Amino acid sequence: MTAFFRTLACCLALMLMALPAAAAQIGLTVVTKPGSAQHVAAEQFARLLEQRSGGAWSVKIFHSGALGTETEMLQQIQLGAVQMGIITEGPFDTMVPEVRVLSFPFLFPDHATADRVLDGQMGTAVLNELEKAGFKGLAFSENGFRHLSNSVRPVTAANDVAGLKIRVMESTFHRELWRALGANPTPMGWPIYSELQQGTLDAQENPLWVLSVYKLFEVQKHLSLTGHVYSAHIAVANLGWFNRLADADKTLIVECMREAAQYQRAWNRSQEAAYLEEMRAQGMQVVEQPDMASFRERSARLEEMDIFAAPRIRELLRGLRE
């Protein structure tokens, strides 16, 4: 009998040892919903990390504003209430003003240039700036080139922007950009459908996927393909949490996020033509080639403003342009 129980205990112990250790879970937050650019990157990261760690890591994605606006999400990452986030470049502005260099109008002429610069030394330099605010910068995925939509009039040149009540991201830089262009900007978090519907806002600017996923074509008649700002997403982690990880885990997390970012950029770009078709089919009036020289001229003065005065900000901007 005793021998039987001993064997049984042994078997149970072996069975327990064979079970994988409970997976360590990472909370990862994005403001937008499934099907959005942020969420596609988050899902791909989760897939890669779970696979490559053999299930030792799992990822819980908080989406659709479950943790508030992107500014609030950044605060929660700083506090360690959630470990990671994939956040649009704009809302970093108040915490790490150096990040605003990424959003300088017409900085990148095309996707290939954005990739080359962000995946190179200058991208790393910007990611390193995040550490002073308690973030580990992991990778750049993308929101995409931002275009202007509004419910008032076709915008064919910068003069047409005059007085438009436009929502901008929670960012000093984006607010100043739209002031310089002559609009009346209000910084606020995402989403903004009801404000556009009710007319408290006339305009917004975002990549085309946003018009589709959030059905903004229902409340915005006019679309101008301005592509004024290349909008990166920055994947970040709480710095203290990240630094306490084993070296192998740090490497794995960075590798999976970089790969997820590459995957997501390709995915995002492959959708653009279809989104434009959809906007036309939904009845939006599209100005395909607005007079971008007029936008460039007005936005160039931003560089002379206080928000670009700090030597490190100037240095980064110069580096990104080279």
Binder to ligand EAX among 76, 103, 171, 206 (CB under 6 A)? 206
Q: How far, in Å, CA of 231 to CA of 228, rounded?
A: 9
Binding characters for ligand EAX, 85-104, by CB under 6 A (x = yes): ---x----------------
Binding characters for ligand EAX, 138-157, by CB under 6 A (x = yes): -----x--------------
The smaller minimum CB distance to ligand EAX, of residues 155 and 169, is found at 169
The smaller minimum CB distance to ligand EAX, of residues 88 and 226, is found at 88
Instruction: Examine residue 71 and tell whether it contacts ligand EAX (CB under 6 A).
Output: no
Binder to ligand EAX among 40, 210, 219, 317 (CB under 6 A)? 210
The smaller minimum CB distance to ligand EAX, of residues 204 and 299, is found at 204
Instruction: Examine residue 169 and tell whether it contacts ligand EAX (CB under 6 A).
Output: yes
Q: How far, in Å, CA of 191 to CA of 188, rounded?
A: 9
Q: In the window 11-70, what residues touch ligand EAX (CB under 6 A)?
A: 32
What's the distance, CA 183 to chain centroid? 24
The smaller minimum CB distance to ligand EAX, of residues 57 and 214, is found at 214
Which positions lie near ligand EAX, rule CB under 6 A?
32, 88, 143, 169, 190, 206, 210, 231
